[in-house]
Structure 1
């Protein structure tokens, strides 16, 4: 069974973990074993294929592959979280964009025209499943990533988008919106910030990512609850109200993960 980030909005995208810990490693803040531990988690060991000079079928571990990219000229990593009609973080060409869109995520090397797209497969019966991840290395175009805001812009957009969407959802009387959603977001923001991103990231990036992930969770709750929206027109109105904030949250996630290479200071 193939898996993408959209299958579980509460789970951090693997491309995000690779971006964060890869940047931390390349910047000298973390050792290679931390990269593997933090990115792989409970998965089977990740493998990378398609690196320059590889023969067909060659497979490498994550730390070896990242070391190879560094030798080839990579100075950092950037996250892409594309969705239909929104090539967020992508630079082309069409073949890479299509692969990233199918996966729902990708990692682009900084200083090197290459990117990595994960293929995630879950095997086995419920309760005894194993997850394998194969990162395919593909050529990318050199250019600015599509639609990625600065951290400052992302933080401002999150605050404005939450206010606007909450007002819209309250008018629609949707469960999970209104004061309860705001109180839940406030409780989340008061928690510690030590588990997100990786060593070396600025505090603002952690704040932005934390807010974006909580908003994504609240959107998933709102989308999955019927509330008073029972007619087709009310359901369509709810979907329209959620769409801009969902895009805002994804833009903020990308800005946060890319901060170690894109932001000069917090």
Structure 2
């Protein structure tokens, strides 16, 4: 899975909350071949009245309740993809921020009816079974969240798309200029390429520009994961620093692109 689970859930939860997707379709798209996703309370969590998810509960319970809540008032659904040192967009308190950084992702539901505040979901992923038949168990830890920082979205889809394109062009040019693409010939070519499969099912609420942005960002996320695990043709300390700077900037822009593409309103 190259699209983060939280991004996929945010896209489908937003569609369910807007009354434009069925719960069954959302569950099938988000869970895929996983075991049924569970929702469990984090320590000290008390479910808001508008989303009284059972304990233990399932993602299906939450989505049904979210659809009902969306009928009463508009709900904001945001995906956040933090990394150590960059928690922009993650609401407090501190225990939620720490959990989100550890997972590298979370979903925030805000604007719940009756002043219920905000709710955040952080995935805990567990693999089980033999190597040739690995199963996946996902538990979404529910946290009460403080009000969302700043505006509902850090940038519009158009702004995120422009920033992503600029960062992509700069990183590709810089890495080619350092002759670091030779260590993996498909790396920078892949940055310029397109996804050649159908990817994961996405909801009808994503417009054409969001879909194009998410498709490109999905591919870059996969390439970044490879690049972070392999130092490639780096020889000098200066090359290593320059490479790290470019990949960090590209990662930030790519994560912002995914957030803008899947969050509601978007």
> Does the pair score TM above 0.5?
yes
Select 1:28's aligned residue among 19, 25, 30: 19
Q: TM-score, normalised by structure 2?
A: 0.82
- 1:262 corresponds to: 265
Deviation, 1:199, is: 1.0
Say if 1:166 and 1:177, in contact at 8 Å, map to a contact too.
no
1:1-266 equivalent positions in 2, closer than 5 A: 11-50=2-41, 51-52=47-48, 58-71=55-68, 75-112=75-112, 113-144=118-149, 148-175=154-181, 183-188=189-194, 197-258=202-263, 261-263=264-266
Structure 1 residues 196, 235: closer, same or farther in 2, change over 3 A?
A: farther
Deviation per residue, 1:170-221 (Å, 9 max, x gap):
22111269996565344407x5878563112111111111121222233334
Q: Tell me the distance in 1 between the aligned counterparts of 2:129 and 2:200.
A: 30
**CA RMSD between the two structures:** 3.0
Q: Tell me the distance in 2 between the aligned counterparts of 1:44 and 1:35.
A: 14
Moved more, 243-252 or 142-151: 142-151
Q: Which runs of 5+ in 1 are unaligned?
A: 1-9
Structure 1 residues 221, 98: closer, same or farther in 2, change over 3 A?
A: closer
Q: Tell me the distance in 1 between the aligned counterparts of 2:166 and 2:215.
A: 16
